[in-house]
Amino acid sequence: MDEHLTIRFGKESDQKYLIEWLLQPGVLDGFPLHDLREIEDAARIWVSYSSQHAVLTALWDGVPCGIANLYLQPYKKLAHQCLFAIIVDEKMRGKGIGTKLMKDLMALAKERFKLEFIHLEVYEGNPAIHLYERLGFEKYGVHKHFMKDKDKYVDKILMQKVL
């Protein structure tokens, strides 16, 4: 892996980067968020998992460039699995950051939290689908017309990977 890239546990202070990345042009096409209030709320929830060491932040030459988290389940019957989310700064895509974050997140999920599988929700047309497939995620369902954006319906694709 490139010597410029390091991964550390996420911090609450990473929230400002997450908000910045979610506000980049076109990014909200892949997230069901609508405005700054929703983005700030989602970012607060996302980084709140840092208190459980369930958030990873990618750094390029020491500067945050991506973040991923596990939405850990508080209920015993659901604790064997969880949803996750990931985002990489648009200026840093194509450098292997997403792949490294995903591999480290999967290792964290399996080793630290003893998860049996992780799953994600991705919207049709999102180019990250290819990354997920390359890493062994399989589609297990489609929620038709899940999101409505500017009078256009978008399907949500459900994918998972056994760890």
Per-residue pLDDT reduced to its tens digit, 93-127: 999 999 999 999 999 999 999 999 999 999 998 88
pLDDT for the residue numbered 38: 95
5's enclosing H/E stretch is strand 5-9
pLDDT digits (tens, 9 = 90+) for 8-61: 999 999 999 999 999 999 888 778 898 999 999 999 999 999 999 999 999 999
Residue pair 124/143 in contact (Cβ under 8 Å)? The answer is no
- Residues in a beta bridge with 70: 84
Helical axes 15-22 vs 36-48, angle rounded to 10°:
140
Q: Which CATH class is domain 5-162?
A: alpha beta
Question: Which residue ranges make up each domain of the chain?
Answer: 5-162
pTM of the shown model: 0.94
